Amino acid sequence: MDSRRLLRTSATALAAAGLILSGCTGGSDAAASRTRSEASAAQAPASREAASQDPASGALRKYYGQKLAWRDCGVVGFQCATLLAPLDYAKPEAGDVKLAVSRTKATGPGKRIGSLLVNPGGPGGSAVGYLQGYAGIGYPAPVRARFDMVAVDPRGVARSEPVECLTGPQMDAYTQVDQTPDDAAEINELSASFKRFAAGCEKRSGTVLPHVSTVETARDMDVLRAVLGDEKLHYVGASYGTFLGATYAELFPGRVGRLVLDGAMDPSLSALDLNRDQTGGFETSFRAFAADCVRTPDCPLGTGSVEAAGAALRKFFRDVDAAPLPTGEGRELGESLATTGVIAAMYDEGAWPQLREALTRAIGGEGSGLLALADSYYEREADGTYANLMYANAAVNCLDLPPAYADPAAAEQAVPSFEKASPVFGEGLAWAALNCTYWPTSPTGRPHRITADGAAPILVVGTTRDPATPYKWARSLAAQLSSGTLLTYEGDGHTAYGRGSDCIDTAINTYLLEGTPPQDGKRCS
């Protein structure tokens, strides 16, 4: 599986969610990696300085002063529009990108507060799809009464100049490449698959590829804020959306309204550390699943200890690596797809029954259940086509951070530390972090602390057994932010808002509606 910061709220899919990290940069030697890291360190402050300038003047005036032409978009209760933003903020004259925007107006009663922008994470998740399929109808009624609910697909994502990389059959082949290589030939094939992926992105999306960073998307959000007529940005970001929200606060602290960052990322960590931390998060989630499973007599991983269940799953992965399973269609279930299917179910404990059934069938010799989970993770349609989620995910991540590794030898060297973090998933996730090593576009970001000095209170939410964004990331981000407040959900699953905790939902709703965050350190279950 490809595992680089695909961080989505579980509400975006019933049985799957996301990705996370992997290193990113073009070139494969250490010297090139160092050069690009130094370049990104120099570039990032410049982009933040430019963002602080008055947007109502100069070359950005046409963007900040544009009027949206709202139209019916075929979904009851929602309007759609197209927002123009500069392809390159450093050279606004170089051309535009067209960004898809959707909204549903405040329902009342009560005085309208403003617009509430939502983002489900990814990077690569469609915010418009999330708004129309969940947030715009499923957020608490008091919130929808007082806010226009708004979403914009980030540049490179879904309806907004989507990054494209592979055909459906090519993507099928990519998802099946062995990511636990046993010898030099398998290492070479894994590296070749990442090179083919990167080359496909450059061939099909070379113009937009250097301009899909989180900093650029945060700047697009400020254009949208102004165009909507809001003095401050009110925002709920989940998973990767927390990094996007924190980046906005760093760029525009004086324009921060009510920001909820749910399932928080830690922007101070390198790609390698982020990958390794998340690998540990998946282990924590698996152990919770296993503890629940082994209590019942029909658990496919046995009725012994959690450790024995982990050993049984590792044996199953080895078995399907050696002899892939039939699935009732043209594709077989090998180790990579089987691992992806299991990880997909780690994002939401509501998917655990589905995972138990899928594992029971797979251990019995039939792999369609795990394949269905993997397909939902990759957003593969029944006709063999894929959404652009994975393409956008890699494109954004490969700009945002220097790579985890300079070459395959570095990945191989890191395997033991990943296996320490997760005996079950460590080896595969260590190798998955190689995916951006061959990226054609140099990174423009770097790991750094975000303080957002001068911002209004920002609410950071963390879940203690979150598989994709480990709880310690939320603690770290809340501590970094000068105005950060930490709200903790003691439970399982990825993100906390809207997952059934009245304590969490009440605290977040109060903050959104009244601007008053809960007491720092508040805990809910």
Catalytic residues: 239, 466, 494
CA separation, residue 440 to residues 1, 94, 492 (Å): 21, 21, 38
CA angle 488, 19, 468 (to 5 degrees): 20
CA separation, residue 44 to residues 54, 189, 444, 448, 506 (Å): 19, 34, 7, 10, 37
DSSP string, 162-207: ------HHHHHHHHTS-SS--SHHHHHHHHHHHHHHHHHHHHHHTT
CA separation, residue 303 to residues 291, 293, 308, 369 (Å): 9, 8, 9, 22
Neighbouring C-beta atoms of residue 384, cutoff 10 Å: 15
Contact, 61 vs 38, CB < 8 A? no
Instruction: Give the DSSP H/E element, type plus range, for residue 321.
Output: helix 306-322
| 213 HSE (CA, 13 A, CB side) | 26
User: Could you tell me which residues are beta bridge partners of residue 485?
Assistant: 459
Residue 423: burial class (beta carbons within 10 Å; 0-12, 13-18, 19+): middle
Tokens of 92: 């606004």
Compute φ and ψ for 99, nearest 5 degrees: -110, 130
Contact, 233 vs 221, CB < 8 A? yes
